[in-house]
Amino acid sequence: SVLVVGSLNMDLVVAVERHPKPGETVIGGDLQRFPGGKGANQAVAAARLGARVRMVGRVGADAYGAELKRGLEAEGIETAEVAEIEAPTGVALISVSADGQNAIVVSPGANARLRPEDLNPERFAEAAVVVLQLETPLETVRRAAELGRAAGARVLLNAAPAQELPAELLAAVDVLVVNEFEAARVAGAPEPETPEEALALARELARRVPLAVVTLGARGLVWAGTEGEGALPAFKVKPVDTTAAGDAFVGGLAAALAAGEPLEAALRFASAAGALAATRPGAQPSLPTADEVAGLLSR
């Protein structure tokens, strides 16, 4: 099974003509509410793609927290370790202007209270793959990686949002998944401008982890590690909204690896999931099912 340790957020979205300047008030459209958080998105992606998924995280004892948990449960995800605590549920306050620019304030809330000591080692025992991101405290991510490693699971870290990583965390990671920007931050190198530069960066990262995957949006991905290296072009689709393409990719890779797929097949499966998510608006609503991915793979 897949164990996701990570964030759950409620995304609160308002359309505005233009963003307010400091001190200014603008009137927007009706409030829209979308379940989000990279952890929850990746859990939903893996579940829709056929994995048995358990989530570990924190929400507030409030209406958003209850709604987020219900949403995961409706996807068949086990939420026994998504505890409701005395802190507000994480939210992202998003305004979208008429020219399509987002302005976002994230309040991590309960996500920031997930402590290393909250992680129950027994939960890691049956996991084939442990999936981590960087929207919960770094020391918790590190502890989760170490527990996953100790339990014999494959530890997959999606190093998003971009930041530098302590060596002790990377030492417990088996699969690092980053986009170009995140790859540059983790390696402390300039952003790659060509697929060749991205592959060189993947090789650099693969000196620190057994497998490094650098995703390149519509240009596909490159990977390097102990099983060799390679590049995979993206599936040709008409992108509508690439929000959550990365989360679909990570969830897809976790589901395929948990199912025992060999590496290159798993990367193709994940890439198809990312491509399908890019063809539909929104985050969780855009995440594809296993049948849809099979359709794209056989096309």
Binding interface with ligand ADP (CB under 6 A) = 179, 215-218, 220-221, 234-235, 237, 239, 242, 245-246, 249, 271, 274-275, 278
- Taking the least distance from each CB to ligand ADP, the nearer of 82 and 177 is 177
- Supply the minimum distance, in Å, between the C-beta of residue 192 and ligand ADP: 12
Phi, psi of 194 (to 5 degrees): -130, 160
- Supply the minimum distance, in Å, between the C-beta of residue 160 and ligand ADP: 6
- Supply the minimum distance, in Å, between the C-beta of residue 123 and ligand ADP: 26
- Taking the least distance from each CB to ligand ADP, the nearer of 13 and 275 is 275
* DSSP label at residue 165: -
123: helix, coil or strand? helix
Cα 107 from Cα 56, distance rounded (Å) = 19
- Supply the minimum distance, in Å, between the C-beta of residue 33 and ligand ADP: 22
Contact 274, 245 (CB under 8 A): yes
- Taking the least distance from each CB to ligand ADP, the nearer of 78 and 197 is 197
- Supply the minimum distance, in Å, between the C-beta of residue 267 and ligand ADP: 9
- Taking the least distance from each CB to ligand ADP, the nearer of 3 and 160 is 160
Cα 287 from Cα 251, distance rounded (Å) = 9
Residue 118 appears among annotated catalytic residues: no
Closest listed residue to residue 161, CA positions, set 188, 189, 182, 131: 182
- Taking the least distance from each CB to ligand ADP, the nearer of 65 and 220 is 220
- Taking the least distance from each CB to ligand ADP, the nearer of 4 and 87 is 4
- Supply the minimum distance, in Å, between the C-beta of residue 62 and ligand ADP: 29
Q: Which residues pair with 212 in a beta bridge?
A: 176, 224
Q: Residues with catalytic annotation?
A: 247
